[in-house]
Structure 1
């Protein structure tokens, strides 16, 4: 049970980028809630995720489905569902395993998904004053003022195919996402 608890706390929490609550020096997350249709595509992916944080690497599997009406994600650790989220463009519904640390929030997971996959123009329109997003080829950078907050690098187009590397400079984690379309 202790090993299972450890895996849930470290792997899942790190994957979801919310194991540590922001300090006073770190502003809260953006709170993006973009409409699913703003992605401009329907996708269904199996993903393998690796999270590096504080000298440790953890792995998780996920299933991600997005269409014009919803975003759905199921996160698995050791073959067990540890989190799910469904977002219809208005309401975000989440389920969490009891061993998942309380700071892991569906809102943060949804935000990372949208920052990674939604078009820059859709994100740009929703950013608060002082924030900006830049796309240059297969690299995206999110800025707060003159400070880079996240850098996302893509191996292929469309951006959800292949490998994605998200380096969150504010919360100090690196997430590698290897995606394969369902049915392949």
Structure 2
């Protein structure tokens, strides 16, 4: 098998595996709908990350480059050096691109929501939550509840939140996302 064919087989396999990290189609009322402006973060940064998604006994990995400025957010996801996802958000409009092999369940809105739930100030998230939801922060640990039922935990290795390692454990959709930022 040629090197180019092997690379495509690996890419297609990786993209298929990434579907395991995608949540099942969700009714609109089940989503938080977080769409906080980049400026609300109160900081600017650019970081390279390695993402590990664990779901149903599977582990999938993806590299990403994330840049946040007050006026925009840009994210590019790569698998084996191939771009598989990109998103751009200016606080008003979310634009995304996806590789044709990327499953439809991997939605830009969900990626943005996990990112904001992990990185944005807890006070801004609390103000944007729909009725029935609440968020708490205890040091390097966040807890998200729906009707007093724990739905998501987020743990940080240090501050600022986008440095080091972030572990988001979604108890509702049964996946764990580990984000390791390059030093």
Q: Structure 2 length normalisation: TM-score?
A: 0.91
Correspondent of 2:65 among 59, 63, 66: 63
Determine if the alignment matches structure 1 residue 18 to structure 2 residue 22.
yes
Tell me by how many angstroms 1:134 deviates.
0.3
Q: 2:12 aligns with which of 5, 26, 31?
A: 5
Structure 1 residue 137, shift from structure 2 partner: 0.5
2:74 alignment counterpart: 72
The match for 1:174 is 176
Per-residue CA distance 1:145-178 (angstroms, 9 max, x = gap)? 1111110000001111101111001110001110
Aligned position for 1:95 = 97
Shift >6 Å, 4+ stretches? none
How many residues were matched structurally?
A: 176
Do the aligned residues in 2 keep the contact of 1:19 with 1:101 (CA within 8 Å)? no
Task: Report the TM-score, using the length of structure 1 for normalisation.
Answer: 0.90
Which consecutive residues of structure 1, in runs of 5 or more, have no partner in the other structure? none
Q: Distance in 2 between matches of 1:2 and 1:42?
A: 37
Q: Choose the corresponding residue for 2:131, options 103, 120, 129.
A: 129
Q: How far does residue 28 in structure 1 lie from its aligned partner after superposition?
A: 2.4
Alignment-derived partner of residue 120 in structure 2: 118
- Report which of the two structures shows the higher radius of gyration computed on alpha carbons: 2
Structure-1 residue corresponding to 2:86: 84
**3-state SS of paired residue (1:74):** strand
8 Å Cα contact 2:11-2:79 kept in structure 1: no
SS in 2 for 1:112: helix
Counterpart position of 2:55: 53
Q: Does the 8 Å CA contact 2:23/2:173 hold for their aligned counterparts? A: no
